[in-house]
């Protein structure tokens, strides 16, 4: 679980999910670990969607929109990473 939290705080979503799944294997049925697995899955999806929006803005050469979306994503990631201690 600690390794999952560490990976999460560093923004390594896939590693965090793997570590949480390992922890769940050691502690089957843990609601806390299952919640973390759900959280990291949701965060990963949101980050991927945000990056796709940034890429789309870049493709349209809408630099201001791309930079604004990137700043928003950076803020979101920092807020999310601080949720896990």
- For the chain, first and last CA: distance in Å? 11
Q: Which domain holds residue 63?
A: 2-81
What is the torsion angle, in degrees rounded to the nearest 10, for the CA atoms of residue 56, residue 8, residue 15 and residue 58? 10
Regarding pTM above 0.95, the answer is no
| Binned average pLDDT, 10 residues per bin, the chain of 85 residues | 93 96 96 96 96 98 98 96 85
Of 48, 40, 47, give the one whose Cα is nearest residue 21: 40
pLDDT at 39: 95
Number of domains in the chain: 1
């Amino acid at each position: 679980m600690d390794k999952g939290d560490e990976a999460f705080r560093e923004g390594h979503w896939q590693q965090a999910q793997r570590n949480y799944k390992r922890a769940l294997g050691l502690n089957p049925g843990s609601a806390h670990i299952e919640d973390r697995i759900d959280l990291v899955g949701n965060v990963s999806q949101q980050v991927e969607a945000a990056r796709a929006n940034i890429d789309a803005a870049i493709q349209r050469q809408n630099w201001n929109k791309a930079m604004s979306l990137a700043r928003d994503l950076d803020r979101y990631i920092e807020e999310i990473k601080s949720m896990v201690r």
